């Protein structure tokens, strides 16, 4: 190692050292997404040796890779799963950044750059999906292109020109290929350099509780080489092995080739990362209002995310003092997950307004209750938080009792709450299935729907009872119940 170091200058401090507390996978989700991007670059370059971007040959050459190229199925599977992993990691990176307020001064532009990188990542998914020219990919892409036409002008014209070209299948596929292989990687690399430059300027973000709250050992700075580099190698290798193992368990198979006659029989549906958007567009009220109104709702969500640093301008980064934003973030993440699963289960079925209201409202209610209980359990009560904020008292978290009974009560409370959440999620899913079955006229569907709605109601009542008892635990009753003892103050 010393020999290489003296020749290559590996230990020369080119990059600023990172704090010890950043040796944590959650600080490196973006780095893992970059690793996924590199793996896709390598596997994609190998596949490009065989692939021909023409409607008459795209499917045949993809099939050739699957059947005749050594390790071809493995390459295709890894390429797809790392793309999925990249999107998932980018989303986790976004949500983690949101919850720990990395978008606040001085990192506003890092957030905006990261959001643009997220859109480019989704663009990779959209453009890459068409390339195998299967019935699944072509139908879903056609739906996506159709939706673009409903966007406000001149954006609609610009996007249509950019990705459809002359309007022929050949022109469309070639443009998608060029975007996927040359344009988007180049844009992503430039944005990556810009973001890395800003990361180098600002450093790793501090913990939300402030750097003073950490022990000196955690505050210590460690060099990028070898400490952080070794850690990143470790994470990247584990990530790679996880993707490989998943690809062995669930190998990819190629759907049938696209043909106009087959397309008529197939219910088109986008890939999972666009399913939540697809599901929003299927809500009856939005469908009736027109595609442009529905797309405007989705566009507004994206714009709000990009402009978040200029909307959430409070100075505090503490999670304790941002209950509204934390709750909104948790609702957003939960709604995206519920909409995606729901969209997967109901391809091509319009969603009645009442069902949409019940499911989305129920999810929001459960998540809000969950956040309130979590705040109560972790920070010791909303009243104290509100009081602390109103009186301008220091925003440090209260000292947590380390007594065994308090810990045990916390475990019990969390356990009961997790059970309620799981039950809530199950009954929401069961209600959706019940509604679908009812619409399809299945026998016993009404009974199943009634049972699941009753279960959902019981879960909501149970959660409210838990909240009620936690409040009573603050000293108004004397009869202790171990499971609800957490908020008790003598």
Partner 1 sequence: MSDEQSVAEKNTVVTERMGLRIVSLLLIIGTISVFMLWSVNPVGSGRESTFALFLAVDLVSVAMISYVGRSVTREGRMARAPLIAGCCMILFLVLTGIYLLS
Binding site for partner 1 (CB under 8 A): 70-71, 73-74, 222, 226-227, 230-231, 233-235, 237-238, 240-241, 244-245, 247-248, 251
Q: How many Cα neighbours within 13 Å face the side chain of 302?
A: 15
Taking the complex as a whole, the smallest distance from the CB of residue 226 to partner 1 amounts, in Å, to 7
CA distance 432 to 425: 11
Nearer Cβ to partner 1 (238/411)? 238
* Least distance to partner 1, CB of residue 230, Å: 4
The residue behind tokens 């289960």 is 345
> Which residues, listed in sequence order, are joined to residue 18 by a DSSP beta bridge?
222
Q: How far apart are the first and last CA of the chain?
A: 60
Backbone angles phi, psi at 165, to 5 degrees: 70, -130
Q: How far is the CB of 47 from partner 1 (least distance, A)?
A: 15
Cα distances (Å, whole numbers) of residue 149 to 109, 162, 353: 30, 12, 25
Q: Are 220 and 408 in contact (CB under 8 A)?
A: no
What is the closest distance, in whole angstroms, from the C-beta atom of residue 482 to partner 1 in the complex? 31
DSSP conformational letter for 257: B
Of 71 and 197, which has the nearer Cβ to partner 1?
71
Map tokens 């119940």 to a residue: 481
As measured in angstroms, the least distance from the Cβ of 404 to partner 1 is: 24
Closer residue to partner 1 in complex, CB, 245/447? 245
Nearer to partner 1, 248 or 481 (CB): 248
Q: Which of 33, 29, 27, 116 shows the shortest CA–CA distance to 307? A: 116
Residue closer to partner 1 by CB (options 69, 350) is: 69
229's CB contacts (< 8 A; 6+ apart) are: none
CB of 57 to partner 1, least distance (A): 23
Residues 490, 475: Cα–Cα separation, whole Å: 7
Give the residue with the Cβ less far from partner 1, 227 or 471: 227
45 or 248, CB closer to partner 1?
Answer: 248
Q: Which candidate, 341, 373, 130, places its Cα nearest to that of 255? A: 130
Q: How far is CA 487 from CA 166, 398, 479, 480, in A?
A: 66, 13, 13, 11
Angle value at C-alpha 372, between 307 and 486, nearest 5 degrees: 145
CB of 242 to partner 1, least distance (A): 8
User: Mutual orientation of helices 108-130 and 135-148 as an angle, nearest 10°?
Assistant: 130
State the nearest-atom distance from the C-beta of 48 to partner 1, in Å. 19
Cβ distance to partner 1 smaller for residue 26 or 230: 230
CB closer to partner 1, 82 vs 127: 82
Q: Under a CB-based contact definition with an 8 Å cutoff, are residues 175 and 165 in contact?
A: yes
Angle of helix 291-306 relative to helix 108-130, nearest 10 degrees, comes to 140
The minimum distance between CB 23 and partner 1, in angstroms, equals 9
CA nearest neighbour of 319 among 384, 370, 379:
379
């Amino acid at each position: 190692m010393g020999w290489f170091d003296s020749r290559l200058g590996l230990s020369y401090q080119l990059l600023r050292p990172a704090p010890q507390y950043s040796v944590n996978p959650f600080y490196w989700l973006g780095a893992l997404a970059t690793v996924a991007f590199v793996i896709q670059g390598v596997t994609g370059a190998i596949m490009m040796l065989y692939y021909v971007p023409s409607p008459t040959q795209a499917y045949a050459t993809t099939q050739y890779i699957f059947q005749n190229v050594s390790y071809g199925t493995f390459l295709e599977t890894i390429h797809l799963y790392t793309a999925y992993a990249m999107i998932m990691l980018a989303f986790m990176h976004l949500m983690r950044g949101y919850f720990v307020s990395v978008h606040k001064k001085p990192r506003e532009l890092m957030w905006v750059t990261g959001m643009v990188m997220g859109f480019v990542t989704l663009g990779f998914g959209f453009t890459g999906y068409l390339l195998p020219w299967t019935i699944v990919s072509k139908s879903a892409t056609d739906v996506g292109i159709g939706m673009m036409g409903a966007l406000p002008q001149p954006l609609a014209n610009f996007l249509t020109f950019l990705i459809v070209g002359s309007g022929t299948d050949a022109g469309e596929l070639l443009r998608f290929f060029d975007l996927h292989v040359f344009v988007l990687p180049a844009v992503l690399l430039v944005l990556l350099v810009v973001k890395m430059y800003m990361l180098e300027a600002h450093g790793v973000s501090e913990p939300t509780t402030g750097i003073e709250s950490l022990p000196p050992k955690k505050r210590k700075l460690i060099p990028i080489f070898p400490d952080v580099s070794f850690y990143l190698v470790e994470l990247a290798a584990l990530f790679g092995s996880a993707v490989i193992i998943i690809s062995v368990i669930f190998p990819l198979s190629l759907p049938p080739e696209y043909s106009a006659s087959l397309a008529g029989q197939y219910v088109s549906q986008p890939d999972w990362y666009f399913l939540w958007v697809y599901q929003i567009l299927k809500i009856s009220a939005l469908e009736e209002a027109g595609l442009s109104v529905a797309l405007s709702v989705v566009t507004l969500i994206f714009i709000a995310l990009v402009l978040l640093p200029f909307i959430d301008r409070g100075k505090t980064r503490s999670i304790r003092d941002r209950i509204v934003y934390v709750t909104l973030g948790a609702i957003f993440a939960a709604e995206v997950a519920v909409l995606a699963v729901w969209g997967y289960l109901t391809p091509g079925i319009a969603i009645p307004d009442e069902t949409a209201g019940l499911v989305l409202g129920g999810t929001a209610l459960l998540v809000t209750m969950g956040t309130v209980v979590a705040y109560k359990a972790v920070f010791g009560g909303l009243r104290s938080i509100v009081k602390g904020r109103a009186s301008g008292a220091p925003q440090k978290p209260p000292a947590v009792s380390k007594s065994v009974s308090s810990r045990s009560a916390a475990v019990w409370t969390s356990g009961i709450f997790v059970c309620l959440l799981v039950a809530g999620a199950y009954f929401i899913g069961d209600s959706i299935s019940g509604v679908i079955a009812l619409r399809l006229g299945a026998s016993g569907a009404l009974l199943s729907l009634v049972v699941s709605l009753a279960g959902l109601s019981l879960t909501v009542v149970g959660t409210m009872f838990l909240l009620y008892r936690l409040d009573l635990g603050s000293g108004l009753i004397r009869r202790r119940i171990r499971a609800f003892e957490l908020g008790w103050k003598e």
